Amino acid sequence: MLKTSEIAPRFPILQNKTIILGIRYFFMILVAFLLFGIILVISGKDPLQSYKDIFTYTLGSTYGFSEVLVAMIPMLLTALAVALPARVGLINVGGEGQLYIGAAFATFGALTFSNLPAWLLLPIMIILGMLGGALWAFIPGYLKSIGLVNETITTLLLNPVAPKIIGFLIFGFWHSPMDTVKTPNFVAAARLPTFFGTRIHLGLIIGLIMLVLFWLFMKYTRWGLEMRAIGNNAQAARRNGIPLKKYLIVVMCIGGAIAGLAGMSQVSGFYGVLLLNFSMSLGYMGFMVSWLAGGEPLGILLMSFVIAVIITGGNLLQLTRGVPYSVINLLLAFTLFVVLARPNLIKGKKV
Amino acid sequence: MRGITKAFPGVLANDQINLDIFASEVHALLGENGAGKSTLMKILYGFYRLDSGQILSNGQPVTIQSPHDARALKMGMVFQDFSLIPALSVMENLALFLPRLPAVLDVKGINQRIREVSERYGLDINPEAMVSQLSIGELQKVEILKLLLADARLLILDEPTRVLAPHEVQALFKVIDSLKKDGYAIVLITHKLKEVLECADRITILRGGRVAGTLLRSEVDEEGLISLMFEKKLGSPIVTHKRVSPEKAAPLLELRDVWTHAEGLETSLKGIDLKVNPGEIVGVAGVSGNGQKELGDVAMGLIHCSRGKKFIFNQDFTDKSIQEVRMSGVAFIPENPLTLSIAPFMTVLQNIAITRTKKYARLGGLSMDWQAVQADVDRSTQKLGFSFPLYILARSLSGGNLQRMVVAREMIDEPRLIIASYLTRGLDVQSTIAARQALVQARDNGAGVLLILEDLEELLALSDCLIVLYTGKIVGNFRPEDTNVYEIGHLMTGSEVEHVEN
Amino acid sequence: MTLLAIFGIISSAIFSGTSLLYTTLGEVIDERSGIVNLGLEGVLLVSASSGFAVTSLTGSPYLGILVSVLAGGLMNMILGYLVITRKANQLASGLALMFFGFGLSALIGKSFVGTKINSLPRLLLPGLEGLPRLYTSLFKFDPLIYLVIPMAFLVWWLLFRTRWGLGLRAVGENADIAYASGRNPHLIRYQALFVGGMLAGLGAAQLAIAYAMNWTEYMTAGRGFIAVALVIFSKWHPLRAIVGALIFSAAVAFQLLLQSSGVQISPFLLDMIPYLLTLIVLIAWGGNRKHSAPASLGRVYQGSE
């Protein structure tokens, strides 16, 4: 039989692969910025001035920089929510939904236990958030493990359902007296503390800790080893006695839990209230970040930062130059296109 | 075909082969595993390029560089794995390959044509049926139809009866017969003697890449064919076998009346009764595709018996999972390590660890004791006399080294039962010897081995007890000293023979 | 519920379901060739905004429709380039296209928010002239609506009765076999994407130019994703897609009706129905092992495409 697909030979592992990867990405981002600059020119804005504005704000001013970090927080977690299942070959596109459900569970905690002190309430909310996300991921995980439906489709389908559940809960039970699109503000005890008068909240620490844990886990523990075996060759792993089904379900749930944690950190740390449709495609951005980073924790850190810069810059442009916010999507898209179009540079990495 | 020679790395597949194919004739290409039959025909069909030699069509030399050229010369080949699309209907699958298909499908017209040709040769196929619902026998008929509709005049059938039931085989022969009468030339690649004798007009026997003989049907009989197919090779085996098992010891592996269910192109096992005792190597002979893979899989617990029971170390393991089988001390050395038992993008050392992570886990799993892994590997490789790099990615190892790695890995815990499937396939001489010695060593220490191999000589040399598999059944069970290559050969190819005690 | 109310639901369903159906038909063609387009939302937005803009500038809705159709085809070509030629991951590429569509459409549509345009004429469904005005106003449909069901049949005919369609389906099932039959899978996929994109563009045109007659950001409201779900629901068959699109848009219309008559079922719950329904259908059919999804799609979902 003729085969039209052959696995392309992969590059041997280079030393400092992250650094080399970083250089390549930098170059690609440059190209993306160039393309976006063209768009700016077409729409009558001065690209150089716009870029200058973006960079002075995000990297030049402390407040701007802090805003970047704030934007980064949820993406660290949603990207991790994709990267972990990817290690066993699962494609989790459901970060969006898991995030929402996690937020919902956490909100329940905030509203119900509002008279508890922070050191008790916050951990409860964290646990609830992770529980919610895990639950939402359980269904796709289970269906996949029994070989019934593929997790890409199920997670994708469940995504739009989650915000509607939130809408239902807010409208029906939780809405504040004045506003039907959000809950009353969380009590102070339910809010993740912020630092230095900026909006950076504890979620950043949580996110960084999770990344480190992820790295340690995959590298040193027994389960990390088994997961990598599954991701490498599920058939072989099974023959070698590794319990495939168990891992598929559990890992999917943990991924969901992490996304749920992202949701919790957003409503608790950032907003302080559960808002309808509060996620601006955070789950999908997490997917892209993880994919861009090749599923590596350091890469996730880097790419979340880059994307966060773009988003924050976009917010700035919207305020100062009247560029509609969604146009920043173009810059995002260009970055992605450029990366996607050069598969030979990042092939061989699992998302 | 004249003087066809083709070499692959490490093996001379075809060596100066001459072959004549005539119209209105069934020409059988007979030989054992690895005799070179498939390779020869793939050269004819344009899949492989010949290294030297010539192909002539109607006396004129031709170059065939791709299946496209072969089809232009009106040749068609039906492979062992069918190239049909299950989700489409028969008509659609055939239409896909019709040389002159109009832009708008004339469904009725095509159906009509299919029915005509189908009836003419007794193929009996309904063009509107979904391919996914056809039986294997019917799938094959569709493949033949495909060739006929594309105006092929020379049909090559590669092991067509391997997956057919006896009545389907008869039906196929009828079809071949009617095709022959209509002037088609048919080449039948097979290892089954009975079929050859029933169906062929001309027979070419290949052995070890060379033509052992070309005869007309009238000139030959079973004995003669067997003697041409299997040549007694000289050279003493490297190891001698002696039974080391204690008397009345419980069998390590026992299969009682095991049946398995097969899907698609797999072979189902029927009524398998098998015992592997401690200190014994049980060899499984048979042409590849007669149930060996399934036997290994069912022993491991990868597939479950639809009937019958399985006992390992005297406990009922019929429904247990692979993990449990492995954890009780059974080692598994599969064929094709790269796809079946290796994580290609992890290092060799890591690959060694993945079969027994529990053993090396420390702090409840939070860290792995790589020192211990290293120590184990070193010990195992010392004993076996192997050596291979530990810190490179598994995929960078050569086939031989990969197999060594798997053997070393499996031997670490001194397993009591070893299931080895095509252990030495694709290995160079050194690795082969080393692998065999490893098994013998284990056997001498009281382990039991279920050994599935292609090479009869090797099997006879290594096994303490030999069974022969044919279409999923055990058709012979001997001690090697009581039998010989010819007898085994008979059984492997489906002919019964009187067992003569020496 | 009054007869008027029921007719109201049907009418609303037909109006809003038409664009959905066009999009679904386009995606059926694409997925039959083995490509999933997660960026449909972006494709629709770009087609809608450009079509609307052109209509507003030139005053001709027909020109606008043409531009919409072309825009859809071209957007899909981007996906094609990434996925076919550069062999990029389909899901990631689709999402990137989605983001691209969000941004580009906002840019194009920015100066046209709130403008009015000349729309298509609305013609009464023949045979209903005798009914009172109240009813007939519900059944005055634009030409694109009348076109959609014949279009579904056309797509069916294309896929199942032409040589091109056969080749396309073969590519979607097993590109190797298609290649062995002398076809060029890459070319066929590009073609499928272009045709599919054009259909999506047509749907977007109906939405913006004929139905809503205005432009707002994100006006497609998830139609792109619903279409992907609908394709699965209709088992990749163009005629079943009609049923699917109708059911889903009827559910939406039903919900609006309930809202206006004060019934308390939360609109959010109703909105969930399409997705949950598809999920349940998937689970139910999944038990049959053979999903009836084009075989190549499976590899997408396993991450090897």
Nearest to C201, CA basis, from C223, C186, C230 = C223
CA angle, B245 then B250 then B253, to 5°? 95
Specify whether the CB–CB gap between A102 and A133 falls below 8 A.
yes
Task: Please tell me the distance from the alpha carbon of residue B267 to that of residue B294, in angstroms, as a whole number.
Answer: 7
Task: Please tell me the distance from the alpha carbon of residue B284 to that of residue B292, in angstroms, as a whole number.
Answer: 8
Task: Please tell me the distance from the alpha carbon of residue A43 to that of residue C8, in angstroms, as a whole number.
Answer: 42
Residues 6+ apart with CB under 8 A from A37: A47, A48, A50, A51
Q: What is the pLDDT of residue B337?
A: 72
Instruction: State the smallest CA–CA distance between residue C147 and chain A in angstroms.
Output: 29
- Residue B340 has its nearest CB partner, among A222, A235, A242, at A235
Residue A250, pLDDT > 90, answer: yes
The DSSP 8-state label assigned to residue B245 in this structure reads P
C 143-182 residues inside an 8 A Cβ radius of A: 175-176, 179-180
B68 contact residues in C (CB cutoff 8 A):
182
B343/A242 touch (CB, cutoff 8 Å), yes or no: no
Sorted by where each begins, the domain ranges of chain A are: 62-346
C163/B102 touch (CB, cutoff 8 Å), yes or no: yes
Question: Hey, is B105 helix, strand or coil?
Answer: coil
User: How large a percentage of chain A has pLDDT more than 90?
Assistant: 27
CA angle, C143 then C147 then C152, to 5°? 160
Mean pLDDT of chain C: 84
- Residue A153 has its nearest CB partner, among C92, C185, C232, at C232
Residue pairs between chains A and C whose CB atoms are closer than 8 Å: 145
A317 interfacial to chain B (CB closer than 8 Å): no
C180/A2 touch (CB, cutoff 8 Å), yes or no: yes
Sorted by where each begins, the domain ranges of chain C are: 12-120+131-301
Q: What is the pLDDT of residue C129?
A: 65
Residue C304, pLDDT > 50, answer: no
Task: Please tell me the distance from the alpha carbon of residue A244 to that of residue A238, in angstroms, as a whole number.
Answer: 6
Q: Which CATH class is domain C12-120+131-301?
A: mainly alpha
What ipTM was assigned to the predicted interfaces of this complex?
Answer: 0.83
Residue C143, pLDDT > 90, answer: no
Specify whether the CB–CB gap between B216 and B19 falls below 8 A.
no
CA angle, C84 then C86 then A282, to 5°? 95
C 46-85 residues inside an 8 A Cβ radius of A: 78, 81-82
pLDDT band at C29; cut points 50, 70, 90: very high
C298 contact residues in B (CB cutoff 8 A):
none
Stretches in chain B below the pLDDT threshold 70: 9-11, 33-34, 163, 231-249, 263-265, 424-431, 495-502
* Strands ordered across the beta sheet of B465-470: B330-333, B417-421, B448-452, B280-285, B465-470, B473-478
> What are the tens digits of pLDDT across the range C6-28?
788 888 888 889 999 999 999 99
- Residue B101 has its nearest CB partner, among C163, C180, C290, at C163
Q: pTM for this structure? A: 0.79
Task: Please tell me the distance from the alpha carbon of residue C284 to that of residue C92, in angstroms, as a whole number.
Answer: 28
> What are the tens digits of pLDDT across the range A178-195?
777 777 788 887 788 888
Tell me, rounded to whole angstroms, the distance of Cα B364 from its chain centroid: 43
Question: H or E segment at C190?
Answer: helix C185-205
Question: H or E segment at B53?
Answer: strand B52-57
CATH code of the region A62-346 = 1.10.3470
> What are the tens digits of pLDDT across the range C235-260?
889 999 998 888 888 877 777 777 66
B86 contact residues in C (CB cutoff 8 A):
173, 290, 295
- Residue C88 has its nearest CB partner, among A39, A281, A340, at A340
Q: Is the dihedral of CA B179, B181, B183, B188 positive or negative?
A: positive
Task: Please tell me the distance from the alpha carbon of residue C224 to that of residue C245, in angstroms, as a whole number.
Answer: 12
Q: What is the pLDDT of residue A1?
A: 36
Q: What is the pLDDT of residue C130?
A: 66
Residue A95, pLDDT > 80, answer: yes
A291/C303 touch (CB, cutoff 8 Å), yes or no: no
> What are the tens digits of pLDDT across the range C188-211?
999 999 999 999 999 999 998 888
CA angle, A292 then A295 then A297, to 5°? 105
In terms of residues, how long is chain B? 502
Instruction: State the smallest CA–CA distance between residue A156 and chain C in angstroms.
Output: 9
Top pLDDT among A99 and B383 is at A99
Q: What is the pLDDT of residue B10?
A: 59
Q: What is the pLDDT of residue A141?
A: 92
A243/B323 touch (CB, cutoff 8 Å), yes or no: yes
B358/A223 touch (CB, cutoff 8 Å), yes or no: no
Top pLDDT among B106 and A102 is at A102
Specify whether the CB–CB gap between A199 and A266 falls below 8 A.
no
Identify the structural domains of chain B with CATH numbers, from first to last. Answer: 2-229 (3.40.50.300), 253-329+413-492 (3.40.50.300), 340-399 (no CATH)
